[in-house]
Amino acid sequence: MKITHEEVKHIAKLAKLSLSEEEVEKYAKDLGGIAEFVEKLNEVDVTGVNPTAHAVDKYNVFRADELKDSYNREAILKNAPSKEAGCISVPKVVE
Amino acid sequence: MREDYEVIIGLEVHAELATKTKIYCSCSTEFGSDPNTHCCPICTGMPGVLPVLNEKVVEYAVKMGLATNCKIARFSKQDRKNYFYPDLPKAYQTSQYDLPLCYEGHVDFKVNGEPKTVGITRIHIEEDAGKLIHDPYTGDTLVDLNRCGVPLIEIVSEPDIRSKDEAIEYMQTLKSILEYLEICDCKMQEGSLRCDVNLSVRKKGETKFGTRTETKNLNSFKAIGRAIEFEIDRQIKELENGGTIYQETRRWDDDKGIGYAMRTKEDAHDYRYFPEPDLAPIVLSDDYVNGIEAALPEMPNVRRERYITELGLPEYDATQITNSKKMAEFFDKAVAKCGNAKLVSNWLMSDVSRKLNESEMEIDNIKFTAEDLGDLITLIDKGTISSAIAKKVFEDMFETGDAPAKIVESKGLVQITDESAIRDLVISVINENEQSVQDFINGKDKAVGFIVGQTMKASKGKANPGIVNKLIMEELNKRKNG
């Protein structure tokens, strides 16, 4: 299956990645190969088989609405490269 | 709005569910805590964690579905909605795509006395995102993840709404139902109940819908009304000037009173939904659904009808009182105490509502109890105090929370019903106002009102007005015929 350069650029944009023209070329080829591989599934006859979203036959995995301790804030913010006033600090978000 | 246009509106209402813990982890949902103190690896989207669905979320969503005449899915699943934004650490929101928990419902309500039905397309469960705070010192954006993973239901309406008033009444109806079910605290100013307005206009007679815009995150009835008026006006002007309406997401600035388009995101709706592999499907039995249905409390519209038919309240009063569950409960308790539903209703609709509005309070913050209001009304009914004095007692109750009997006693406000005492007052007032007496004798009935006023004043408002009136007429007629 062919993946066009436009499709690669669209996916890159959604993933917030900037790609060089060479990379676009390379990913078009790689992604095309992956899509082709997955396409093999289309060869299987699935007449009479119900579609499913999960491979494991399990449902209704619930927990009770019971409060447990949260992590302390230092631990939560430990991996943040920049923090301020108990928050993660990120470049200004414009709406 | 111009007569030759009509407006088509659909609402997406988000309600935060009043569970103790988040949707997929055991962190608290409490509002207003220090930033990032209700967080764990699950709600902050750390790799390798396993979310587990809170059973109350399913129960609450099914309750709302049943209360809005929805069908309940016996098989339902959760999906990932992918987008990048700093308030969403996983880079996807867990929501429901093609198999929501509830679908095809409707709510009925009245708008300016006319019956209206709005279809409910679906109700699904999902998680809320974090909060972004602008840092004025550095110009950066600060991220507080406490709200991440707070459970929401999204209630999507059909495009059945045709005016601002209908939109507001629809929202009011949902709010009442959520309150009666006790599944959402409905504090709109805290964002626990908010809505997005999808709106388009078209020339009357046109059968195709116009292009719609979506104004996001309106969190007061006033903002909903104003944002709708603004957007109707904007779209009509645009079309009349030969312009085009673009399908776009808009924001409403309630302080400035204007709506504006958000930076256009060409790929905004490419969410690449796919089934959430970490969460098992939800399968509900008939027994489960029937059990919830059997335990549903009385709904606001049923209570309203009961107040009209059993207690004889006017429809408007019954609607206003039953819109808020807390108000209705307050009403019930006061009526149980004094037995006078009409008078309790009058007090709630007038003095109580006025004081609550003036002080921007909710009925559950009021200092006195519903029983105290009942006692106040009993004091009026028994003739212990007059209605005029009762208003003064009420002001005192509102300020201090003291029981009405205590206020009446300590301030000496008991009504004077002793005829001989009142007759003495009346005679002295008549003697001091010879001119009014002559006016009365000459046929000017207005003079009576003046004498009544003077007598009430002389009694410091405590004389029984009925007896005052009766005795004044007796005394004046004596003079006239004497």
pLDDT digits (tens, 9 = 90+) for B243-278: 999 989 999 999 999 999 986 554 456 889 999 999
| CB neighbours of residue B79 within 10 Å | 23
Task: Give the gap in angstroms from C-alpha A41 to the nearest C-alpha of chain B.
Answer: 18
Asked if A95 has any chain B CB less than 8 Å from its own CB, the reply is yes
What's the 3-state SS for chain A? CCCCHHHHHHHHHHCCCCCCHHHHHHHHHHHHHHHHHHHHHHHCCCCCCCCCCCCCCCCCCEECCCCCCCCCHHHHHCCCCCEECCEEEECCCCC
| Angle of CA points B18, B20, B23, to nearest 5° | 80
Instruction: Count H helices and E strands in chain B, helices first.
Output: 16, 17
Lowest mean pLDDT among B66-80, B115-129, B395-409: B395-409
Distance CA B369, CA B362 (A): 13
Q: Do B282 and A59 touch (CB under 8 A)?
A: yes
Beta bridge partners of B249: B214
pLDDT at B190 over 60: yes
Distance CA A75, CA B255 (A): 38
pLDDT of residue B72: 98
| Angle of CA points B348, B350, B351, to nearest 5° | 85
Inter-residue contact B344 to B334 (CB < 8 Å): yes
Distance CA B236, CA B258 (A): 16
Asked if B143 has any chain A CB less than 8 Å from its own CB, the reply is yes
Q: Do A61 and B52 touch (CB under 8 A)?
A: yes
pLDDT of residue A51: 82
pLDDT of residue B82: 92
pLDDT of residue B173: 96
pLDDT at A81 over 80: yes
pLDDT at A1 over 80: no
| CB neighbours of residue B60 within 10 Å | 25
Q: Do A62 and B263 touch (CB under 8 A)?
A: no
| Phi, psi (rounded to 5 degrees) for B119 | -75, 145
Residue A52 pLDDT class (50, 70, 90 cuts): confident
Q: What is the mean pLDDT of residues B85-92?
A: 92
pLDDT of residue B142: 95
pLDDT of residue A93: 82
Q: Which of B26, B146, B269 to mutate to test the interface with A (most CBs of A within 10 A)?
A: B26
Mean pLDDT of chain B: 93
Q: Do B36 and A53 touch (CB under 8 A)?
A: no
Q: Which of A50, A73, A88 to mutate to test the interface with B (most CBs of B within 10 A)?
A: A88
Which three-class secondary structure state does DSSP give residue B93?
A: strand
| Phi, psi (rounded to 5 degrees) for A91 | -55, 150
Q: Which of B456, B3, B65 is nearest to B203 (CA)?
A: B3
Q: Do B35 and A87 touch (CB under 8 A)?
A: yes
pLDDT at B88 over 80: yes
Beta strands at B5-16 and B151-157: parallel, antiparallel or unpaired: antiparallel
Asked if A50 has any chain B CB less than 8 Å from its own CB, the reply is no
Q: What is the mean pLDDT of residues B111-126?
A: 96
pLDDT at A68 over 60: yes
pLDDT at B479 over 90: no
Residue B412 pLDDT class (50, 70, 90 cuts): confident
Q: Do B132 and A93 touch (CB under 8 A)?
A: yes
Residue B461 pLDDT class (50, 70, 90 cuts): confident
Which three-class secondary structure state does DSSP give residue B168?
A: helix
Task: Give the gap in angstroms from C-alpha A75 to the nearest C-alpha of chain B.
Answer: 9
Q: Do A90 and B143 touch (CB under 8 A)?
A: yes
> What is the percent of chain B where pLDDT is above 90?
73
Contacting B residues, span 264-283, partner chain A, CB-CB under 8 Å: 267, 270, 272, 275, 277, 279-283
pLDDT of residue B268: 52
pLDDT at B98 over 80: yes
Q: Do A88 and B140 touch (CB under 8 A)?
A: no
Residue B70 pLDDT class (50, 70, 90 cuts): very high
DSSP designation for B5 = E
Residue B41 with chain A: CB contacts under 8 Å = 71
| CB neighbours of residue B73 within 10 Å | 21
pLDDT of residue A95: 54
Asked if A74 has any chain B CB less than 8 Å from its own CB, the reply is no
pLDDT at B52 over 80: yes
Asked if A71 has any chain B CB less than 8 Å from its own CB, the reply is yes
pLDDT at B432 over 60: yes
pLDDT at B198 over 70: yes
What is the set of domains in chain B, with CATH numbers?
A: 5-291 (no CATH), 298-410 (no CATH), 419-481 (1.10.10.410)
Q: What is the mean pLDDT of residues B157-184?
A: 97
Q: Do A73 and B34 touch (CB under 8 A)?
A: yes
Asked if A91 has any chain B CB less than 8 Å from its own CB, the reply is yes
Inter-residue contact A13 to B268 (CB < 8 Å): no
Smallest CA–CA distance from A67 into chain B, residue:
B26
Residue B293 pLDDT class (50, 70, 90 cuts): very high
Distance CA B209, CA A63 (A): 44
Q: Do B20 and A65 touch (CB under 8 A)?
A: yes
pLDDT at B50 over 70: yes
Residue B263 with chain A: CB contacts under 8 Å = 94-95
pLDDT digits (tens, 9 = 90+) for B206-241: 989 999 999 999 999 999 999 999 999 999 999 999
Distance CA B131, CA A88 (A): 11
Inter-residue contact B154 to B194 (CB < 8 Å): no
Beta bridge partners of B109: B116
In a 13 Å sphere around the CA of B142, the CA atoms on its Cβ side amount to: 17
Which structure tokens are listed for B157?
């309406």
pLDDT of residue B6: 95
What is the set of domains in chain A, with CATH numbers?
A: 5-43 (1.10.20.60)
Lowest mean pLDDT among A67-81, B307-321, B333-347, B463-477: B463-477
Asked if A29 has any chain B CB less than 8 Å from its own CB, the reply is no
Nearest beta carbon to residue A53 from set B77, B140, B262: B77
Q: What is the mean pLDDT of residues B162-186?
A: 96
CB pairs < 8 Å spanning A and B: 130
Asked if A51 has any chain B CB less than 8 Å from its own CB, the reply is no
Q: Do B26 and A67 touch (CB under 8 A)?
A: yes
Residue A56 with chain B: CB contacts under 8 Å = 280
Q: What is the mean pLDDT of residues A53-79?
A: 94
Q: Which of A13, A61, A78 to mutate to test the interface with B (most CBs of B within 10 A)?
A: A61
Q: What is the mean pLDDT of residues B308-329?
A: 93
Nearest beta carbon to residue B141 from set A16, A70, A92: A92
Exposure b/e, B415-443, CB count within 10 A at least 16 = b? bbeeeeebbebbeebbeebeebbebbeee
Distance CA B226, CA B260 (A): 13
Contacting B residues, span 21-80, partner chain A, CB-CB under 8 Å: 21, 26-28, 34-41, 44, 52-56, 58, 77
Helix axis angle, B315-323 relative to B300-311, nearest 10°?
140
pLDDT at B1 over 90: no
Which three-class secondary structure state does DSSP give residue B28?
A: strand
Q: Do B139 and A88 touch (CB under 8 A)?
A: no
